[in-house]
Structure 1
Amino acid sequence: MDLLAHRAYLRFWCARVCGTAGNQMLMLAVGWHLYDLTHSAWDLGLVGLLQFAPAVLVTLPAGHVADRLHRARLAAACMLAQAVVAALLWSSALGGFASRELLLLAAVMLGAARPFQMAAQQALLPALVPAGLLARATAFSSSGTQAAIITGPAVAGLLFAGGVDVVYASCFALLLAAALSCAAVRYEHLPPPREPVSLQTLLAGAYWIRRHPVVFGAVSLDLFAVLLGGATALLPIFARDILAVGPQGLGILRSAPALGALPMGLALSRWPPHEMPGRKLLVAVAVFGACMLVFGLSTSFWLSALALAISGAADMVSVVVRQTLVQLETPPDMRGRVAAVNSLFIGASNQLGEFESGATAALIGPVGSVVAGGVGTILVAWAWGRSFPALALRPTLTEIPTAGRAGTPR
């Protein structure tokens, strides 16, 4: 990598770290603020649903836009939109007009912006590093993201001592810094495809994934595993009602998965999972489910935090294998649309999973919801190993040569 490429990657990395920290703090504040107002598990799940619903509508157009526009500037615009949401909530906290409806509206706005950002970011990384370094770059970028997930919620938990308005103000500053850093990224921007916009071009990413069973198996495995096994939406309930550790403890619980993911990400950046990546992916998902089972049954704060930390390490293996497979095998002019479909799977697993957790917790309680999800995740890992043998038996992360790039730095 030359000096300009190093600078572009560094700016991209800084933007991801600041943006992730700001987003994590913002969602933590929204969840705690909402539960403080309504004391409703259903409302916590509704936050995830209201983020996912607009994402379904805009994901395919987001991929199309990411393949036509400057991806760094598109990601910067999305981060700026999130900063505006943080500023709105900051004003509502200071002005005393925060409400359940406003917090749910903020969830909708964040859900509409995220697909464009995720499609742009995922498609941008392969344009910044050589194909031979992509697995390491993915692991290193993910490590930075996990570091932000560690520090963001932990700092937010401490900032709650000054009031929720202080947390929202900090989110605004971080997201604004992320937008400015990402806007400064320069790369070789491919000219937009010449074909006219049509339903076929919008669905091209979905068609491509469906025709490639290794990639389809990897992204669908993540979808169902996190859809069933995620417990993020219920952390305010565990922190307040089960473990009795307050917002400071909530910040630690929210950071715990990243505390496990960070050292794993650094290890994978040094030793990428080139050998039998599919088998490692399946084992990691099963370990993730087992950790959720322990977390759901635990009444000890530190055991709960440890279970979440190990789940984060397992999830990091899944992230690196899945993203490397997708990015290496996707043609450059399709990366935005494929990344958009991948982001829909991620959004479904995270945000729709939050709704599933909240709805299930309203029916059988938070402990039953998490335990059932952990068992379901283990079963999914077993089923995918049998249903996608090409993924389970894949011998290596094959590097696909990158086609020649056209265009000039912009």
Structure 2
Amino acid sequence: MPLLRHASLTRFLIARVGSITAQQMLMLAISWHMYDLTSSAWYLGLVGLFQFIPGLATTLVAGHCADRMHRGQLVAICLAAQAAIGALLAVSSMTHAVTRDLLLGLSLVLGAIRPFQMSGQQALLPMLVAQSLLARSMAFSTVVQQVCVIAGPALGGLLFATGVNALYFTCAALFCMSAAMYALIRYDHVAPPREPVTAETVLAGLRFVWSHPLLLGGISLDLFGVLFGGATALLPVYAKEILHVGPQGLGLLRCAPAVGALCVGLMLSRRAIGSGVGRKLLIAVAVYGAAIAAFGLSRSFPVSLLLLAISGGADTISVVVRQTLIQLETPDRMRGRVAAVNTLFIGASNQLGEFESGLTARAFGAVGSVVLGGCATILVSAAWSQLFKPLATRETLH
């Protein structure tokens, strides 16, 4: 069994490297392609909205599937579908058939697929490591993720120099490799008794989270913190019109938060947070908001990179604490459905946050949108310290 776990964990990490790198490159390409076609922050926001909308319909069903199917195989199917999207974009780009409507349509498909992938991934890691090592494993998985978040946009920016076709084909190849690795993962999977898919079984994850204030506080903190404080959707605007650094600079801006996340993740993988985890979580969210607000005001490319790196480091503390608490407080039979609820909130914070950024940028300009969002995130941290006392006063992860 230890050898089986070791081999499957290795495959899991290899697959994470390939899939996250491909996803970062794909989103970089889609966002730049959209802005190049439309020159509109509004349509950049629509890319996020179109990824969020289908997730509302599929996320809870995805959680049910993650608790019924082999989780590695479920993720493999999702990655294979994304490989097909990358190949389609490559062919469309070669024939000059890429349009605004095509990019929005494929964003809808990506949004429908991703909840199944994320629910399976989040519920899979606890099956591959001992519970006593979960916090450090979660931090190490975050390190792996952030390395890919750094490498993906940077590699994507370099591939842009040779043509967007090469970028899309590379994404497709990485998705295929990752799908194969996930399909080979083995763990003690016991198929649950067959039962009909009903509203009760599908909504069980929501009821579980709602009845546990600590989980509800942690998951909703991410929703509102990133919803207001996300600046990712407007990075093409900053790269092109404010900092004047082009697509290569956009790649560096996209990967800068991951540099900070990588540094903090390495520290947490060596030594988990031992005490005051609730208080440190809320402080980290406030620091994240302050860094985003300062980035919005910056006109220096190096200073902007530094501020984004600080935001990434603070966000990593939040992610590791929240994800570890979710896994430790949830029984395995419910992990897929609770992961689906978490995915729904993450999707709302990321994709809906991108739409919110585009909408407020239209009203207040890109700078006003980012600064107001960062300040709102600080207020969210302060409010949650009072609204969710079980989270704010939590001392240890276990």
2:274 is aligned to: 274
1:137 is aligned to: 137
SS at match of 2:215: helix
**Map of 1:119-198 to 2, 5 A cutoff?**
119-198=119-198
**Map of 1:1-400 to 2, 5 A cutoff?**
2-398=2-398
Question: Using the alignment, how far apart are the partners of 1:84 and 1:197 within structure 2?
Answer: 29
SS at match of 2:97: coil
Structure 1 residues 198-228: Cα deviation after superposition (integer angstroms, max 9, x where no partner): 1011100000001111111001001000000
Q: CA deviation at 1:116?
A: 0.1
Question: Using the alignment, how far apart are the partners of 1:189 and 1:179 within structure 2?
Answer: 19
Structure 1 residues 323-364: Cα deviation after superposition (integer angstroms, max 9, x where no partner): 000001111111000000000000000000000001111111
Question: Using the alignment, how far apart are the partners of 1:276 and 1:6 within structure 2?
Answer: 32
Structure 1 residues 126-145: Cα deviation after superposition (integer angstroms, max 9, x where no partner): 11111101001111111100
Q: CA deviation at 1:229?
A: 0.1
Question: Using the alignment, how far apart are the partners of 1:280 and 1:182 within structure 2?
Answer: 34
- List alignment gaps of at least 5 residues for structure 2: none
SS at match of 2:235: helix
Which shows bigger deviation, 163-172 or 246-255?
A: 163-172
Question: Using the alignment, how far apart are the partners of 1:59 and 1:274 within structure 2?
Answer: 33
The answer to whether the 8 A contact 1:193-1:333 is kept is no
Amino acid at match of 1:317: I
Over the matched positions of the two proteins, sequence identity in percent amounts to 60
Question: Using the alignment, how far apart are the partners of 1:91 and 1:375 within structure 2?
Answer: 43
- Between the two proteins, the alignment pairs up a number of residues equal to 398
Structure 2 length-normalised TM: 0.99
Q: Which runs of 4+ in 1 moved over 6 A?
A: none
The answer to whether the 8 A contact 1:218-1:322 is kept is yes
Question: Using the alignment, how far apart are the partners of 2:103 and 2:91 within structure 1?
Answer: 12
SS at match of 1:365: helix
Question: Using the alignment, how far apart are the partners of 2:183 and 2:358 within structure 1?
Answer: 37
Question: Using the alignment, how far apart are the partners of 2:301 and 2:173 within structure 1?
Answer: 31
Structure 1 length-normalised TM: 0.96
Amino acid at match of 1:368: G
SS at match of 2:339: helix
Structure 1 residues 32-62: Cα deviation after superposition (integer angstroms, max 9, x where no partner): 0110011011100000000000000000100
SS at match of 1:272: coil
Q: CA deviation at 1:193?
A: 4.2
Q: CA deviation at 1:195?
A: 3.9
